[in-house]
A and B are shown apart, each in its own frame.
Chain A
Amino acid sequence: MAREQRIWRIRLVFQIVSLILVNSMIFGVISFGESPLVRDIYLPNATTKFFNNAPTHSIVYKIQDTLASEFDTFYSDLVIPLFIFLVLVVLLGRVWCAWLCPLGLPQDLLSLLRKKLGIPAYHLPRAAGQALHATKYLALFIIIFYTLSLGIPGSGLFEFRTGLAIPYEQLDPNRALYVYPQIALGLLPPSTIVPWLSILTTIFFLAMCFKIRRFWCYICPAGALQGLFHRQALFQLKKDSSKCTSCGVCTRVCPMGIQEVYSERKKDKVTHRNCTHCYKCVECCPEDDCLYVTFLGRRFLSSKSMEHFDIEET
């Protein structure tokens, strides 16, 4: 296998399998969702609730739902799901984003299509990328602030609870991308409402992600939520600075525009809060064992020089 393809092919398989099984969207086992064993598991990555009985929902959905409606119970419903969320993030970090997210797959497929068509990607300028990365934290803050004030009886927003209780649902491309196919496949009744705003964001999503690699990951509030705990996860991206030739390949191929992996020269831990663990840098780094990934301190993936691979023929 050519060097450039060794990681993303495996990742593609993971993404497809997780789309089918973990996120349980297209072939969701509807009745399974009633089981008390999985009732409190909310996925850290997906940002929507795909259908009522799905075994797994998204934590962002759950937070909005609980904050808007359970002021009187002191949001006690959130305790266990948040605890499970923390465990899941510490376990996998943002591996959720690049390997298991239902929105990651279409983004990667769009990039693949763009590459096949020979259209160059648009690289966000550093400042624009930083601003977008900040947007996702702002989005998360607004979502929490809004839903929190919805749930408080004296806030004056109490009446909106019936109209616009879960604001992010209105925008999420997941909604239009995955709920419509389910209706088409007959998995959901045709009466399921898909907000028209999310169709608009989906068109925006498709257009932007075609030209900019992993555009949605810059602004995704679920990513922001994970980013808060991500650097403490068991999965870590590490760098052996003594092997680095400063060639800058890691920065150029990074879909999230992270420069810190390149500029770090002292510490070996280079996991950045914006890193989605796609390991594109590990795949492309031309030095042996310069970049590597550890799980619980054990190295399981390292960069390899071209010495070890067949070079692609044209």
Chain B
Amino acid sequence: MKLIGKSKKGSDPAKSIESTSAQRARIETLVAGRGDEIIQRTKEKISAELAKLALLKNRAKAMDYFDEMAQIDGPRAKEIEEFKAKGGKVIGTFCHFVPLEIIDASGCLPLRLGCGHHATVGVGESYLGDPNLCPLAKSMAGCAIVDDFPLYSQCDYIIAPSPCDAKLKLGEALKEIGPLLTMNVPRVKEGESIRKQWIEEIKNVRDALEKITGKKIDKKSLKRSIIKYQKAHKAWRTLLSQKRKANVIWGRDFLLVGWVSFIDDIERWTREVTKLTKELKSMASAGKLVADKSTPRVMLAGSPVVWPNWKLPNLLEESGAIIVSDELCSGTRTFYDPVVTDEWTERAMIVAIAERYLYPCTCPCFSPNVEREDNFIREIEGSRAEGVVFHVLQGCHLHTLDASRLSRPLKNKGIPVLTIRSEYQDGDIGQIKVRVEAFLEMIEAGEDSLFEDV
């Protein structure tokens, strides 16, 4: 098996329990020559989902760009190859805690690895060895061990935050395959010691990147990167406000735009999002809506819904609802918070970046988690959502617990809540469909009593 990164400096084979050759042999038996088939199935799944999206009513033309980028072996993969040929390094990231600004400032390319490929879940599960783990982690592990998996095989280095057990142990498992840096995410945000520890954690990332590139990250490039991502934030927020004004974009399309930011060149992505927002604005003023005003408005919450796992969004929107808002770290939350700094000294910028990735984060891994509770209320009120659907991945304890914890106060406020526990596989579609339809009927029936201003 080919290793993820060609350089083996990061992991020391002598230190690991199993020798590298034994691990290679193990991975080989696990994949058992099915690698190409798995990749093929993944591509087919993506094409099928894209075909479904293409049929959507009144879809904005600017979405074509995002469709193109959504293919994992499409133009973006070629661009990354060219970037690597020029000596650029690609940094894989696990989740929302990795400071993208610092990766960008180091001249490397951030690539968020969180994925929804159902074809790799099986091998990933065998590799990690826990059937009760969440499919997201299994899928990521599967992608990492399959030879030449698009995008994954291009990572030179992985930065792995550990907000939950799955991500922590996934990082440990992948350490055997290629160089990887684990980030310690605190579970409590309060107190000066936590703040200091997290700032050090961010500095660790900076030092690791400096080691990889052999170049120091200077003030100028850090400032440039912060501003680059502030612009992405601005474009994203403008799109969000536009989306809230009228039903001009399907929730699935919006989630896809968010996913494309995981892999795309951020400046180009910002431009395309701005273009999309402009088109949506003209659509709104022309009255060209994707769904009329009486369509039940649903908020999607819980575990990340990552491309191409469009199972629940498809079910919701095909059953006659529209996803008007979400609080997913793969959706609205991607660029929701900006790095704000009033001084452009190196220290001030690092602290600003650190605080942006910790304090406003609504990941359920934190306790107490006032941020998440408040964010729910904000999202529901801002988007005038009539019901909340919790998407809970099987095996994701944090989201399962938070779903039941948050359901109660929401129900008390008169907001209908539906919790869908699911995997990546399509086996439970029929059952979920019945529950979703019943839920939407309930929303439509009780519409007047829920919100006065709808």
Contacts and interface: CB of A to CB of B under 8 A. Distances in A.
Interface of A: 4, 115, 118-121, 125-126, 241-249, 252-253, 265, 280, 283-284, 286, 305-307, 311-314
A244 B374 contact: yes
B238 to A, nearest CB: 5
Closest 6 CB pairs of A and B: A247-B360, A120-B345, A245-B360, A120-B347, A248-B359, A306-B234
9 contacts: A115-B345, A242-B378, A244-B374, A245-B336, A245-B375, A246-B360, A246-B370, A286-B340, A311-B230
A255 to B, nearest CB: 10
Contact of A253 (B342, B346, B378): B342
Contacts of B348: 120-121
Contact of B338 (A125, A126, A306): A306
A94 to B, nearest CB: 20
A247 B352 CA distance: 10
Residue among B220, B233, B343, B347 with most chain A CB within 10 A: B343
- Give the bracket for the number of chain B residues in contact with chain A: 35 or more
A252 B352 contact: yes
A242 B381 CA distance: 10
A119 B345 contact: yes
Contacts of B347: 120
A126 B192 contact: yes
A245 B370 CA distance: 9
Contacts of A246: 189, 359-360, 370-371, 374
A197 B234 CA distance: 52
Contacts of B224: 314
A276 to B, nearest CB: 15
B378 A118 contact: no
Contacts of A249: 340, 355
B371 A245 contact: yes
Contacts of B352: 252
Contact of B237 (A245, A265, A305, A314): A305
Contact of A306 (B223, B230, B371): B230
A27 B154 CA distance: 69
Contacts of B230: 306, 311
B374 A245 contact: yes
A10 to B, nearest CB: 16
Given A307-B234, A311-B234, A312-B227, A252 B351 contact: yes
Nearest to A241: B374
A125 B195 CA distance: 12
B70 to A, nearest CB: 26
A311 B235 CA distance: 11
A83 to B, nearest CB: 39
A291 to B, nearest CB: 13
Contacts of A313: 227
B220 A314 contact: yes
A239 to B, nearest CB: 12
